[in-house]
C-alpha cells in the first residue's frame, strides 16, 4: 500500500498530469470555485511526491480562479507508473457508477427550499436537473402497449411507417414508463413488429409531476375547462397534469364539478378516498409524488399540505397520467 501524507502547498508547485483524460468544462470549474468559496476546500487534491496531480484537476483550476496561493493536498508515494495511470482513470470512472436515491434526494431538496447557496450552486441544486431520460435499444418483447391507449393506427398509416422504417430505419425513439409500458410511439412499435424487428430504440421515462393550482378567487367554469384540458389534451406528454392543488375556501363549490367533468370523460377515481365525499378529511398513504400511469386520478385531503408544497418544484416538468387532488387546510 502506498504512503499518503496530507499537507498544504503552494498552488504554483502543482503540475497537471499531461495525459489527463477527464475534461472539466468552464461551467463545472466555476461551480467548483463557488463550492470551495461557500463550503471551503473540503476535498484535497491528490498528487505524487513530485506534485503531479492524480485527482483534482478541476479543483486545481477552480483554486486558480479564486486566486488561492495554497491548497490542501494528499501526497501519494511509491506508486508505479502503471499504477498512477490506472488510479487516474479508475478514480474518475468509479464516480460514474453511483446513482441517486430518488426518495432521499426528494427529501433533501425539499428541505433546501428557500436556501440560497449563490448563483452557481443554486443551478446545481435545481430540481429539474435531476430529471433525466435514458435512451437505449431494447428487445421488442419487453415493451407493453398502454392499457388505455386511445389512438388507433389505420392500415395506411402503418404501411407508411413500415416503408419509412425500411428505407430510413427507426429514427424516432419510443417513450416508455419504468415498466416498459408505451407512453408514446404505439404506431412505430406496431410497424416494427409487423416487419419482424427484434429490438427498437426507447427513451425511458423517469418520475416527475405537473401541478395545477386553483386559487380561492378562481372562476369555476374556467377552472373546469383548464383542468380538463391540462389532463386530457394528451395524456402521453410532459404537459399532462396529475396533481390539482385547491384552496380550502373553494373546496365545497369547486371539487365535485371539477371531478365530475373528469369522470364524464372516463377518468376514473382511485385511492383511499374514492368512496368518500370530496371534502372528507382523512389520512392518505399516497404521496403527492407518486406516479400512476393511466386515465385515473387520486383525491386526498391532507393537514400536512404545507410540507408537500416544498415538493412542487421538484415534480413540475414530466408527464404522469393521474390526478391527485390536495386541499389547503
User: What are the tens digits of pLDDT across the range 82-122?
Assistant: 999 999 999 988 888 887 776 787 778 777 867 888 888 88
Cα distance between residue 186 and residue 146, in whole Å: 8
Name the phi and psi angles at 130, rounded to 5. -95, -5
In order of their start, the domains of the chain are: 3-95 (3.90.1530.10), 133-205 (3.90.1530.10), 211-327 (3.40.309.10)
Strand 174-176 relative to strand 3-10, pairing: unpaired
Q: Is 104 helix (H, G, I), strand (E, B) or coil?
A: helix
Per-residue confidence (pLDDT) for residue 128, from 0 to 100? 59
Residues of the chain with pLDDT under 50: 270-288, 290, 292-294, 298-329
Structure pTM? 0.47
Per-residue confidence (pLDDT) for residue 52, from 0 to 100? 96
Q: Half-sphere exposure of 129 toward its Cβ, with a 13 Å CA cutoff?
A: 7
Alpha-carbon distances of 61 from 72, 119, 179, rounded to whole Å: 14, 19, 43
Those residues whose C-beta lies under 8 Å from the C-beta of residue 282, and which sit 6 or more positions away, are 272, 273, 276, 300, 301
Amino acid at each position: 500500500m502506498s504512503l499518503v501524507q496530507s499537507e498544504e502547498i503552494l498552488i504554483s508547485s502543482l503540475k497537471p498530469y499531461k495525459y489527463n483524460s477527464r475534461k472539466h468544462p468552464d461551467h463545472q470549474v466555476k461551480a467548483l470555485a463557488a463550492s470551495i468559496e461557500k463550503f471551503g476546500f473540503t476535498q484535497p487534491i491528490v498528487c505524487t511526491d513530485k506534485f503531479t496531480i492524480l485527482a483534482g484537476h478541476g479543483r486545481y483550476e477552480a483554486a486558480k480562479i479564486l486566486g488561492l496561493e495554497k491548497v490542501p493536498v494528499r501526497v501519494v508515494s511509491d506508486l508505479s507508473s502503471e499504477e498512477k495511470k490506472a488510479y487516474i482513470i479508475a478514480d474518475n470512472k468509479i464516480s460514474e457508477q453511483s446513482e441517486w436515491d430518488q426518495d432521499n434526494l426528494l427529501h433533501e431538496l425539499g428541505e433546501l427550499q428557500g436556501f440560497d447557496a449563490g448563483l452557481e450552486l443554486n443551478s446545481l441544486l435545481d430540481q429539474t436537473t435531476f430529471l433525466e431520460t435514458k435512451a437505449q435499444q431494447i428487445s421488442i418483447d419487453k415493451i407493453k402497449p398502454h392499457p388505455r391507449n386511445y389512438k388507433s393506427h389505420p392500415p395506411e398509416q402503418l404501411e407508411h411507417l413500415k416503408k419509412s422504417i425500411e428505407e430510413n430505419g427507426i429514427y424516432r425513439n419510443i417513450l416508455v414508463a419504468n415498466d416498459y409500458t408505451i407512453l408514446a410511439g404505439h404506431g412505430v412499435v406496431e410497424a416494427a413488429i409487423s416487419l419482424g424487428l427484434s429490438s427498437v430504440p426507447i427513451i425511458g421515462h423517469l418520475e416527475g409531476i405537473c401541478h395545477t393550482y386553483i386559487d380561492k378567487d378562481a372562476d369555476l367554469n374556467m377552472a373546469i375547462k383548464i383542468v380538463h384540458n391540462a389532463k386530457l389534451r394528451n395524456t402521453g406528454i410532459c404537459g399532462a397534469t396529475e396533481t390539482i392543488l385547491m384552496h380550502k375556501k373553494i373546496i365545497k363549490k369547486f371539487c365535485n364539478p371539477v371531478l365530475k367533468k373528469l369522470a364524464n370523460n372516463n377518468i376514473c377515481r382511485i385511492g383511499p378516498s374514492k368512496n368518500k365525499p370530496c371534502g372528507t378529511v382523512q389520512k392518505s398513504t399516497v404521496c403527492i409524488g407518486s406516479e400512476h400511469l393511466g386515465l385515473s386520478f387520486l383525491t386526498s385531503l391532507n393537514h400536512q399540505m404545507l410540507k408537500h408544497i416544498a415538493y412542487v418544484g421538484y415534480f413540475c416538468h414530466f408527464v404522469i397520467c393521474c390526478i391527485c387532488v390536495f386541499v389547503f387546510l
